[in-house]
Amino acid sequence: MSRRNKRVVLENIEVIDAGAKGKAVAKAEDGRVVFIDNAVPGDVATIQTHKKRKSYYEGKAISFSKLSDKRVNPACEYFGVCGGCKWQHMGYEHQLYYKQKEVENNLRRLGHIELPTVTPILGAAEQYFYRNKMEFSFSDSKWLTLEQIQSDEVIEHRNALGFHIPGMWDKILDINQCHLQRDPSNAIRNFVKKTAEELDIAFFNTRNQTGILRTLMIRTSSTGELMVLLQLFSEVKEKREQLLDAVYKTFPEITSLQYVINGKGNDTIYDQEVICYKGRDHIFEEMEGLQFKINAKSFYQTNSEQAYELYKITREFAGLTGNELVYDLYTGTGTIAQFVAKNAKKVVGVEAVPDAITAAKENADRNGIENASFYVGDMKKVFNEEFVATHGMADVVITDPPRDGMHKDVVEQLIALGAPKIVYVSCNSATQARDLALLDDHYRVTKVQPVDMFPQTHHVENVVLLEKRN
């Protein structure tokens, strides 16, 4: 091991904060910051480091001399192993505190902008079983825990259907119960695994690219509809049909049962043909009477209930009276655009993904929305002077970019457009802060509202209202 990464043991270190990517934060005696994977603010612990840099260490608590009063018992038996839900050991009110703190710190320290009083973060009513989409991977050589490796137990059956171990693309943790998606998600996953083994269908080996069963996707909706998608590496028609028939017979509530035969090196399905085996090839999500068609490849916010709260805040910040032209940038399948359309004169949505725009148009037709139009293209190329000349000067711009934030050309065009209001929805307050800094000479931030979409994780959404400076 290089001197740079020489392991150091730091004794009786007090954990003082929770930082980026869900890591706990402490300060070493030499002044370095210590990022810790498995601690909670208020813990006092001995830390074994595994990375040493000029200004920080990364490490893991190997013993505790004091446990924080912010700690709770994790609900999930796989906590600390599967890599998801990293904050399950911290009380929910404390999770919300550190999420709000991160948003405020990013906007102030990275954006260097003047802020109004930040509205308290909107927590989720449901802290577990809130996801409407889960993807599980098959493996013929499941991940063994340290306890299993050290025990005398002979583990003959190595099949797994569960989650990737963090940082290990070919290691899958077998899951019995996940606390992220409501029933019948766990029952379907466990039934699929059991039945596939009974039918002797080989589970996939990512490293060797052998086996048949690759992934299982389960989508639910707030309307009670259910989609199940099985992905196979190669076709085994008779056994595939036996497995799918058994699933459909056991879970007749399934709205959409589909499969994909994907012989590529990776398991993304966006360039693959999805075949509907039973039911229809889509399910519906609903919000304030609006219906949104969701197929196997569709993007939809993964927490339906909190998505509704997020969109209501967005609409409230826009302050629409019915006379405004609204631009909805990064519109996706047009969910926000349609949600605000009844309060606007016209909404124009722009998105880079052609399939998403096709879905947006279909949903608008289904919902009888005649004052929304949608256009496809790379945002920094489409959203230009010609676009504005064609569609008019927007009164309000809503922008909901991906984690990387907006391209600087898009920011420059926003400044040139000069709309009186911009509502900026972000899943990454660090890149949002960068963009707000670029807009700061022309717009002032007048409202900030963090929203927790993902309890038990460090992720947080943030909505900002910008108003044009005089």
Q: Is 427 a catalytic residue?
A: yes
d(CA 332, CA 379): 12
Contact present, 328 and 348 (Cβ < 8 Å):
yes
d(CA 141, CA 148): 14
Tokens encoding 282: 């889509």
Task: Give the distance, in angstroms, between the CA of residue 376 and the centroid of all CA atoms in the same chain.
Answer: 23
Q: Tell me the β-bridge partners of 95.
A: none
Please choose, from the candidates 24, 4, 3, the residue with its C-alpha nearest in 3D space to the C-alpha of residue 14: 24
Cα separations in angstroms, 400 against 34, 301, 342:
33, 12, 19
Contact present, 137 and 164 (Cβ < 8 Å):
yes
Cα separations in angstroms, 129 against 83, 134, 193, 211, 292:
17, 11, 21, 31, 21
Query: Which of the following is catalytic: 82, 85, 178, 427?
Result: 427
d(CA 318, CA 326): 9
- How deeply is 31 buried, as exposed, middle or buried, from its count of CB atoms within 10 A (0-12, 13-18, 19+)? exposed
Q: What is the DSSP letter of 90?
A: B
d(CA 450, CA 166): 27
End-to-end CA distance of the chain: 59
Q: What is the DSSP letter of 152?
A: S
Task: Detail the DSSP E strand segments found in 201-317.
Answer: 213-220, 226-232, 256-261, 275-279, 282-287, 290-295
Tokens encoding 93: 């009110």
Residue with tokens 């036996």: 242
Contact present, 51 and 7 (Cβ < 8 Å):
no
Indicate which residues carry an active-site annotation: 427
